């Protein structure tokens, strides 16, 4: 077999595997949106069989043979060529896959499907004791997976690397600790301010049908293609890329609180815009895939926060909001804008403000790192979660449903996922600052309903690039700098300094000079 023939075989093999994974995403979407209650056990078995088929394909010895043949050829001389990028990522995936026994892959697929179902059933009643054995099974299997994959420093790294290639806990910890110091400084300034928002204006009655219409309008306005997607209800919002022309988003509504559903839709729309902007010609191969979960989160957080919570955005949308929601007709624009940017420690991560959100992520990072490294057991997780909530946010969850059970991620086996949210915030702020440096101030365009320059810039710099680069090299290429917390901290200080009327200048340097970094 020639290198060209080997590469052709690898491409076809990758495409067929991608179709199987796409089928799995359809099943996953259905399980979390429309499946009848009695259908879950059968769905779990479907996931297990799919996992078996995918694992067989991922570990096919012919992949190793084909990769070796191509890697020794001129096809990979240019590391940024399409073939070289695909081969690099196929090799990475193959080397990881062959370390996972098939029975472990199948057991994980079934346990996580069962875990998600158990979570959906037990979270509303905070039934930790019923949920605990399902989570314990998932944790045991994920520990086994980490050992099978291997690691240089600690088991958690093996799982983190699946979501953010090349990252390690040791590299993230000081970055998150540095950010924590700055966030606490901003939070203290906010809490010490005499100027506070009228939060009740976003906690009036907002009919669900009206919220749905308005959220759809906003998603479409910033670029989401509803001809290639849809918006549905779910217990925990998510976006899923079924394939070209089919990228779906979900949300959940609270008729007495405007923010969760609306900003949740913007968040998931950001994810979907990334998937809708990937190069279709390379679908099914790494060159047509996303970079990492952190880069994915940068897109959702950018549209949700830097765009969606900006004054420019609401200068365009607010009159429409008042038409859709008569309850807002007596609320001035600036009052509403301040309310949707209220900074207040809260129990639920998905409803957290921009300042405290990353504190939620930090505590989860520390807990799941301890779980995977064997320093914490599942039975002790609720107490450990509550301790960190008190330490970081000054709050104690009234029960597991608003505490350790509030997120679906651990039941789904997504250990190593949470840090990507904070990485996404860091990437987003750095990308947005670069876009403004190149395009000029963006908010005036938002105020006129012009979101195309932002989306076009992201399409060019990030979406169309597929998996050509890993996350940190992509940040260097796009922004000309290494990843730094500076842009996110500066953005938060300036924005909330203006809203809460405190001086932002010097906070970053002061907090780094006088406050210790976590873990030091």
Using DSSP's 3-state secondary structure scheme, residue 242 falls into strand
Helix (H) or strand (E) holding 129: helix 128-149
Helix (H) or strand (E) holding 368: helix 357-372
Q: CA 56, 416, 302, 360 torsion: positive or negative?
A: positive
> 47 vs 24, 98, 102, 145, 162, CA distance in Å?
7, 20, 14, 18, 20
Asked if residue 287 lies in contact with residue 467, where contact means CB atoms within 8 angstroms, the answer is: yes
Q: Residue 240 CB: number of other CB atoms within 10 A?
A: 21
Is 482 in the active site?
A: no
Q: Among candidates 339, 341, 358, which has minimal Cα distance to 349?
A: 358
Tokens of 86: 């695909």
Q: Among candidates 478, 497, 359, which has minimal Cα distance to 430?
A: 478
Residue with tokens 């699946």: 162
- What b/e readout covers 198-233, taking b as 16+ CB neighbours within 10 angstroms? eeebbeeebeeebbbebbbebbebbbbeeebbebee
Q: Which residues contact 465 (CB under 8 A, 6 or more apart)?
A: 291, 474
Query: Of the listed 145, 164, 268, 354, which one is catalytic?
Result: 268
**Alpha-carbon span 454 to 432, nearest angstrom:** 9
DSSP state letters, 310-361: SHHHHHHHHHHHHHH-GGGTTS-HHHHHHHHT-----S-GGG--TTTHHHHH
Catalytic residues: 268
């Amino acid at each position: 077999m020639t290198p060209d023939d080997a590469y052709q075989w690898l491409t076809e093999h990758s495409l067929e595997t991608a179709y199987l994974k796409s089928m799995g995403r359809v099943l996953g979407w259905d399980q979390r949106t429309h499946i009848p209650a009695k259908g879950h056990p059968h769905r779990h078995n479907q996931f297990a069989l799919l996992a078996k088929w995918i694992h067989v394909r991922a570990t096919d010895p012919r992949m190793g043979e084909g990769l070796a043949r191509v890697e020794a050829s001129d096809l990979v001389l240019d590391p940024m060529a399409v073939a070289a990028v695909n081969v690099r990522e196929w090799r990475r995936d193959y080397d990881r896959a062959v370390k996972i026994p098939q029975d472990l892959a199948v057991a994980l697929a079934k346990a996580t499907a069962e875990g998600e179902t158990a979570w959906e059933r037990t979270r509303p009643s905070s039934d930790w004791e019923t949920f605990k054995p399902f989570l314990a099974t998932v944790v045991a299997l994920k520990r086994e997976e980490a050992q099978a994959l291997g690691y240089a420093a600690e088991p958690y790294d093996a799982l983190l690397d699946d979501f953010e290639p090349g990252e390690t806990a040791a590299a993230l910890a000081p970055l998150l600790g540095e950010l924590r110091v700055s966030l606490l400084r901003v939070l203290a300034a906010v809490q010490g301010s005499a100027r506070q928002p009228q939060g009740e204006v976003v906690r009036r009655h907002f009919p669900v049908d009206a919220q749905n219409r308005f959220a759809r309008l906003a998603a479409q306005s910033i670029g989401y293609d509803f001809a290639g997607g849809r918006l549905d209800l779910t217990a925990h919002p998510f976006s899923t890329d079924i394939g070209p022309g089919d990228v779906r988003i979900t949300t959940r509504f609270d008729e007495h609180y405007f923010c969760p559903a609306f900003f949740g839709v913007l968040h998931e729309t950001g994810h979907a815009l990334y998937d809708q902007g990937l190069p279709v010609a390379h679908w099914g191969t790494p060159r047509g895939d996303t970079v990492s979960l952190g880069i994915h989160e940068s897109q959702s957080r950018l549209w949700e926060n830097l765009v969606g919570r900006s004054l420019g955005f609401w200068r365009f949308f607010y009159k429409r909001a008042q038409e859709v929601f008569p309850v807002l007709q007596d609320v001035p624009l600036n009052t509403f804008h301040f309310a949707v940017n209220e900074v207040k420690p809260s129990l639920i991560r998905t409803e957290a403000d921009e300042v405290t959100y990353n504190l939620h992520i930090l505590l989860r990072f520390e807990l799941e790192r301890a779980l995977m490294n064997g320093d914490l057991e599942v039975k002790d997780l609720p107490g450990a979660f509550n301790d960190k909530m008190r330490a970081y946010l000054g709050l104690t969850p009234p029960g597991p449903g608003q505490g350790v059970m509030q997120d679906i991620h651990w039941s789904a086996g997504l250990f190593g996922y949470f840090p990507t949210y904070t990485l996404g915030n860091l990437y987003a702020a750095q990308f947005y600052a670069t876009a403004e440096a190149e395009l000029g101030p963006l908010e005036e365009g938002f105020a006129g309903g012009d979101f195309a320059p932002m989306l076009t810039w992201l399409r060019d710099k990030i979406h169309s690039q597929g998996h050509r680069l890993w996350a940190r090299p992509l940040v260097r290429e796009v922004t000309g700098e290494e990843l730094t917390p500076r842009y996110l901290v500066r953005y938060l200080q300036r924005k909330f300094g203006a809203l809460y009327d405190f001086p932002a200048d010097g906070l970053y340097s002061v907090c780094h000079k006088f406050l210790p970094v976590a873990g030091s």
